[in-house]
Amino acid sequence: MKLEFLQRKFWAATRQCSTVDGPCTQSCEDSDLDCFVIDNNGFILISKRSHETGRFLGEVDGAVMTQLLSMGVFSQVTMYDYQAMCKPSSHHHSAAQPLVSPISAFLTATRWLLQELVLFLLEWSVWGSWYDRGAEAKSVFHHSHKQKKQDQLQPCDTEYPVFVYQPAIREANGIIECGPCQKVFVVQQIPNSNLLLLVTDPTCDCSIFPPVLQEATEVKYNASVKCERMRSQKLRRRPDSCHAFHPEENAQDCGGASDTSASLPLLLLPLCVWGLLPHLLR
Protein backbone atom coordinates (compact mmCIF):
# COMPACT_ATOMS: atom_id res chain seq x y z
CA MET A 1 0.00 0.00 0.00
CA LYS A 2 1.40 3.36 -1.02
CA LEU A 3 1.57 6.22 1.46
CA GLU A 4 -0.47 8.56 -0.75
CA PHE A 5 -3.31 6.03 -0.92
CA LEU A 6 -3.23 5.59 2.86
CA GLN A 7 -3.37 9.36 3.37
CA ARG A 8 -6.38 9.74 1.05
CA LYS A 9 -8.22 6.97 2.89
CA PHE A 10 -7.39 8.57 6.21
CA TRP A 11 -8.58 12.06 5.24
CA ALA A 12 -11.78 10.55 3.85
CA ALA A 13 -12.38 8.60 7.07
CA THR A 14 -12.01 11.73 9.21
CA ARG A 15 -14.78 13.47 7.26
CA GLN A 16 -17.34 10.79 8.16
CA CYS A 17 -18.40 10.61 11.81
CA SER A 18 -21.03 7.84 11.65
CA THR A 19 -23.76 6.46 9.42
CA VAL A 20 -26.39 8.22 11.55
CA ASP A 21 -24.78 11.63 12.05
CA GLY A 22 -23.41 11.86 8.52
CA PRO A 23 -20.47 14.16 7.71
CA CYS A 24 -18.56 15.67 10.64
CA THR A 25 -18.78 19.37 11.40
CA GLN A 26 -14.96 19.37 11.62
CA SER A 27 -12.36 17.21 9.91
CA CYS A 28 -8.61 16.92 9.77
CA GLU A 29 -8.60 18.83 6.50
CA ASP A 30 -9.70 22.03 8.28
CA SER A 31 -7.07 24.72 8.66
CA ASP A 32 -7.72 25.12 12.40
CA LEU A 33 -6.82 21.48 13.16
CA ASP A 34 -3.53 19.62 12.90
CA CYS A 35 -3.85 15.84 12.62
CA PHE A 36 -1.12 13.24 12.92
CA VAL A 37 -1.12 9.48 12.74
CA ILE A 38 1.81 8.21 14.81
CA ASP A 39 2.99 4.73 15.68
CA ASN A 40 3.64 3.27 19.11
CA ASN A 41 7.16 4.77 19.14
CA GLY A 42 6.06 8.31 18.31
CA PHE A 43 7.06 8.43 14.63
CA ILE A 44 4.75 10.27 12.24
CA LEU A 45 3.10 8.20 9.51
CA ILE A 46 0.56 10.75 8.22
CA SER A 47 0.69 14.52 8.41
CA LYS A 48 -0.64 17.47 6.43
CA ARG A 49 2.95 18.39 5.66
CA SER A 50 4.73 15.70 3.69
CA HIS A 51 8.20 16.65 4.98
CA GLU A 52 7.12 15.63 8.51
CA THR A 53 6.38 12.04 7.50
CA GLY A 54 8.86 9.64 9.07
CA ARG A 55 10.11 12.13 11.63
CA PHE A 56 9.82 11.78 15.39
CA LEU A 57 6.92 13.69 16.96
CA GLY A 58 9.20 15.23 19.58
CA GLU A 59 11.21 16.94 16.84
CA VAL A 60 8.09 18.39 15.21
CA ASP A 61 6.12 19.35 18.35
CA GLY A 62 8.15 19.18 21.54
CA ALA A 63 5.36 20.68 23.65
CA VAL A 64 2.85 17.91 22.87
CA MET A 65 5.44 15.15 23.26
CA THR A 66 6.53 16.54 26.62
CA GLN A 67 2.91 16.58 27.79
CA LEU A 68 2.29 13.03 26.57
CA LEU A 69 5.33 11.87 28.55
CA SER A 70 4.17 13.62 31.70
CA MET A 71 0.68 12.09 31.34
CA GLY A 72 2.10 8.58 30.96
CA VAL A 73 0.85 8.06 27.41
CA PHE A 74 4.46 7.43 26.38
CA SER A 75 7.29 6.17 28.54
CA GLN A 76 10.99 6.68 27.95
CA VAL A 77 13.30 3.69 27.70
CA THR A 78 17.09 3.95 27.44
CA MET A 79 18.67 1.77 24.76
CA TYR A 80 22.37 1.04 24.29
CA ASP A 81 24.43 0.64 21.13
CA TYR A 82 27.57 -1.40 21.80
CA GLN A 83 28.82 -1.13 18.19
CA ALA A 84 28.77 2.65 17.73
CA MET A 85 31.55 4.88 16.39
CA CYS A 86 32.48 8.13 18.15
CA LYS A 87 34.92 10.94 17.62
CA PRO A 88 37.93 10.63 19.94
CA SER A 89 38.41 13.21 22.65
CA SER A 90 40.83 15.91 21.50
CA HIS A 91 41.83 17.38 24.87
CA HIS A 92 44.62 16.09 27.11
CA HIS A 93 44.73 15.90 30.89
CA SER A 94 47.58 18.43 30.93
CA ALA A 95 48.74 21.31 28.80
CA ALA A 96 52.01 19.53 27.90
CA GLN A 97 52.35 17.81 24.55
CA PRO A 98 52.69 14.03 24.66
CA LEU A 99 56.27 12.75 24.45
CA VAL A 100 57.40 11.34 21.12
CA SER A 101 60.53 9.50 20.10
CA PRO A 102 63.14 11.18 17.83
CA ILE A 103 62.31 8.78 15.01
CA SER A 104 58.62 9.65 15.22
CA ALA A 105 59.45 13.36 15.19
CA PHE A 106 61.72 12.89 12.15
CA LEU A 107 59.02 11.00 10.26
CA THR A 108 56.45 13.65 11.10
CA ALA A 109 58.75 16.42 9.83
CA THR A 110 59.51 14.45 6.66
CA ARG A 111 55.81 13.91 5.98
CA TRP A 112 55.14 17.62 6.48
CA LEU A 113 57.96 18.59 4.07
CA LEU A 114 56.64 16.24 1.39
CA GLN A 115 53.12 17.66 1.76
CA GLU A 116 54.43 21.20 1.46
CA LEU A 117 56.46 20.24 -1.64
CA VAL A 118 53.40 18.76 -3.34
CA LEU A 119 51.35 21.86 -2.50
CA PHE A 120 54.13 24.09 -3.84
CA LEU A 121 54.25 22.22 -7.14
CA LEU A 122 50.50 22.37 -7.49
CA GLU A 123 50.39 26.06 -6.54
CA TRP A 124 52.91 27.22 -9.16
CA SER A 125 51.85 24.70 -11.78
CA VAL A 126 55.32 23.58 -12.79
CA TRP A 127 53.76 21.12 -15.20
CA GLY A 128 52.80 23.86 -17.67
CA SER A 129 49.88 22.60 -19.74
CA TRP A 130 48.76 20.48 -16.82
CA TYR A 131 47.66 23.59 -14.90
CA ASP A 132 43.99 22.70 -14.81
CA ARG A 133 44.70 19.17 -13.75
CA GLY A 134 47.12 20.49 -11.13
CA ALA A 135 44.46 22.79 -9.71
CA GLU A 136 41.99 19.94 -9.64
CA ALA A 137 44.52 17.67 -7.97
CA LYS A 138 45.23 20.38 -5.44
CA SER A 139 41.56 20.69 -4.50
CA VAL A 140 41.24 16.91 -4.27
CA PHE A 141 44.36 16.77 -2.08
CA HIS A 142 43.00 19.46 0.26
CA HIS A 143 39.60 17.78 0.43
CA SER A 144 41.01 14.31 1.11
CA HIS A 145 43.42 15.68 3.73
CA LYS A 146 40.56 17.50 5.49
CA GLN A 147 38.23 14.52 5.18
CA LYS A 148 40.90 12.26 6.67
CA LYS A 149 41.04 14.45 9.76
CA GLN A 150 37.26 14.50 10.13
CA ASP A 151 36.72 10.76 9.63
CA GLN A 152 38.88 9.61 12.52
CA LEU A 153 36.41 7.59 14.58
CA GLN A 154 36.87 4.96 17.25
CA PRO A 155 34.56 2.23 18.62
CA CYS A 156 32.47 3.27 21.61
CA ASP A 157 29.23 2.60 23.48
CA THR A 158 26.32 5.03 23.16
CA GLU A 159 22.93 5.39 24.77
CA TYR A 160 19.80 6.94 23.30
CA PRO A 161 16.18 7.34 24.42
CA VAL A 162 13.31 5.35 22.91
CA PHE A 163 9.68 6.24 23.58
CA VAL A 164 7.06 3.49 23.88
CA TYR A 165 3.28 3.93 23.92
CA GLN A 166 1.42 2.56 26.94
CA PRO A 167 -1.66 0.73 25.57
CA ALA A 168 -3.51 0.98 28.88
CA ILE A 169 -4.29 4.62 28.03
CA ARG A 170 -6.56 4.50 24.99
CA GLU A 171 -7.54 8.17 24.95
CA ALA A 172 -6.17 11.34 26.53
CA ASN A 173 -6.51 15.09 26.13
CA GLY A 174 -4.93 18.12 27.69
CA ILE A 175 -4.16 21.83 27.55
CA ILE A 176 -0.63 23.18 27.28
CA GLU A 177 0.13 26.65 28.63
CA CYS A 178 2.30 28.32 26.00
CA GLY A 179 2.64 31.84 27.39
CA PRO A 180 -0.01 34.08 25.83
CA CYS A 181 -2.05 31.15 24.43
CA GLN A 182 -3.17 27.62 25.23
CA LYS A 183 -2.68 24.62 23.00
CA VAL A 184 -5.35 21.92 23.11
CA PHE A 185 -4.68 18.38 21.96
CA VAL A 186 -6.48 15.03 21.87
CA VAL A 187 -4.86 11.62 21.29
CA GLN A 188 -6.76 8.39 20.71
CA GLN A 189 -5.72 4.86 19.87
CA ILE A 190 -6.82 3.55 16.47
CA PRO A 191 -8.54 0.18 17.11
CA ASN A 192 -6.83 -3.04 16.03
CA SER A 193 -3.50 -1.33 15.30
CA ASN A 194 -0.42 0.11 16.96
CA LEU A 195 -1.29 3.60 15.66
CA LEU A 196 -2.53 6.73 17.41
CA LEU A 197 -4.56 9.66 16.08
CA LEU A 198 -3.30 12.97 17.44
CA VAL A 199 -5.25 16.20 16.88
CA THR A 200 -3.73 19.52 17.97
CA ASP A 201 -4.40 23.24 17.68
CA PRO A 202 -1.97 24.77 15.15
CA THR A 203 -2.84 28.39 15.96
CA CYS A 204 -0.96 28.47 19.29
CA ASP A 205 2.81 28.82 19.07
CA CYS A 206 4.52 26.61 21.66
CA SER A 207 8.08 27.15 20.51
CA ILE A 208 9.06 27.97 24.10
CA PHE A 209 9.19 24.20 24.67
CA PRO A 210 12.42 22.59 23.42
CA PRO A 211 12.16 19.65 21.03
CA VAL A 212 12.35 16.12 22.38
CA LEU A 213 15.21 14.48 20.51
CA GLN A 214 16.58 10.97 20.24
CA GLU A 215 20.23 11.89 20.06
CA ALA A 216 22.80 9.29 21.03
CA THR A 217 25.38 10.18 23.66
CA GLU A 218 28.62 8.38 24.39
CA VAL A 219 28.75 6.32 27.57
CA LYS A 220 31.78 7.21 29.66
CA TYR A 221 33.02 4.34 31.81
CA ASN A 222 35.33 4.60 34.77
CA ALA A 223 38.42 2.40 34.97
CA SER A 224 36.85 -0.55 36.80
CA VAL A 225 33.70 -0.70 34.66
CA LYS A 226 35.73 -0.33 31.46
CA CYS A 227 37.93 -3.30 32.40
CA GLU A 228 34.86 -5.39 33.18
CA ARG A 229 33.30 -4.46 29.81
CA MET A 230 36.47 -5.52 28.00
CA ARG A 231 36.52 -8.86 29.83
CA SER A 232 32.87 -9.53 28.98
CA GLN A 233 33.44 -8.95 25.24
CA LYS A 234 34.78 -12.39 24.42
CA LEU A 235 35.92 -13.24 20.91
CA ARG A 236 33.82 -15.65 18.89
CA ARG A 237 35.27 -19.10 18.34
CA ARG A 238 34.27 -22.08 16.27
CA PRO A 239 32.36 -24.99 17.85
CA ASP A 240 34.44 -27.73 19.43
CA SER A 241 32.93 -30.40 17.17
CA CYS A 242 31.49 -30.46 13.65
CA HIS A 243 27.78 -31.27 13.25
CA ALA A 244 27.67 -32.39 9.62
CA PHE A 245 24.52 -34.52 9.88
CA HIS A 246 21.38 -35.09 11.92
CA PRO A 247 19.97 -38.55 12.76
CA GLU A 248 16.47 -37.54 11.56
CA GLU A 249 17.74 -36.12 8.25
CA ASN A 250 17.43 -38.14 5.06
CA ALA A 251 20.76 -37.82 3.27
CA GLN A 252 19.17 -38.87 -0.05
CA ASP A 253 17.31 -35.55 -0.20
CA CYS A 254 20.48 -33.47 -0.19
CA GLY A 255 23.55 -33.14 -2.34
CA GLY A 256 21.90 -33.86 -5.68
CA ALA A 257 23.27 -30.80 -7.42
CA SER A 258 26.35 -32.67 -8.65
CA ASP A 259 24.12 -35.11 -10.59
CA THR A 260 22.55 -32.33 -12.67
CA SER A 261 23.40 -32.67 -16.35
CA ALA A 262 22.96 -30.36 -19.31
CA SER A 263 19.94 -30.83 -21.58
CA LEU A 264 20.98 -31.84 -25.11
CA PRO A 265 17.92 -30.28 -26.86
CA LEU A 266 18.57 -26.94 -25.14
CA LEU A 267 22.20 -27.02 -26.29
CA LEU A 268 21.19 -27.72 -29.91
CA LEU A 269 18.40 -25.13 -29.97
CA PRO A 270 20.70 -22.06 -30.49
CA LEU A 271 22.51 -23.85 -33.34
CA CYS A 272 19.25 -24.65 -35.06
CA VAL A 273 18.02 -21.09 -34.70
CA TRP A 274 21.33 -19.74 -36.02
CA GLY A 275 21.14 -22.04 -39.03
CA LEU A 276 17.47 -21.38 -39.86
CA LEU A 277 17.52 -17.62 -39.30
CA PRO A 278 19.14 -16.69 -42.71
CA HIS A 279 16.51 -18.78 -44.54
CA LEU A 280 13.67 -17.14 -42.65
CA LEU A 281 14.93 -13.62 -43.41
CA ARG A 282 15.05 -14.20 -47.18
| Residue in 104, 135, 111 with CA at minimum distance from that of residue 121 | 135
| Count of other CB atoms within 10 angstroms of residue 196 | 25
Task: Determine contact, residues 213/58, Cβ cutoff 8 Å.
Answer: yes
How many residues does the structure list for the chain?
A: 282
**Crossing angle of the two packed helices 102-124 and 131-150, in degrees rounded to 10:** 140
Model confidence pLDDT, tens digit, residues 245-255 = 777 777 676 66
CA angle 53, 59, 64 (to 5 degrees): 100
DSSP letter (8 states) at residue 261: -
| Per-residue pLDDT at 129 | 46
Residue 55, Cβ density class (10 Å: 0-12 exposed, 13-18 middle, ≥19 buried): middle
Cα Rg of the chain, angstroms: 33
Q: What is the pLDDT of residue 96?
A: 56
Are the C-beta atoms of 57 and 219 separated by less than 8 Å?
A: no
Residue 62 and residue 209 in contact, taking contact as beta carbons nearer than 8 Å: yes
* pLDDT confidence of residue 223: 73
What's the start-to-end Cα distance of the chain, in Å?
A: 52
Residues 205, 207, 208, 211, Cα dihedral to 10°: 140
Residue 49 phi/psi, 5-degree rounding, is -105, 120
Q: Which of 168, 193, 197, 194 minimizes the C-alpha distance to 185? A: 197
pLDDT, tens only, 33-82: 889 999 999 999 998 888 899 999 999 999 999 999 999 999 999 998 88
State the SS3 of 135-169.
HHHHHHHHHHHHHHHHCCCEEEEEEEEEEEECCCC
Which residues of the chain register pLDDT less than 50? 126-127, 129-131
Strand ranges (DSSP E) for the chain? 16-18, 22-23, 34-38, 44-46, 74-86, 154-165, 171-178, 181-189, 196-200, 217-218
Element (H, E) at 46: strand 44-46
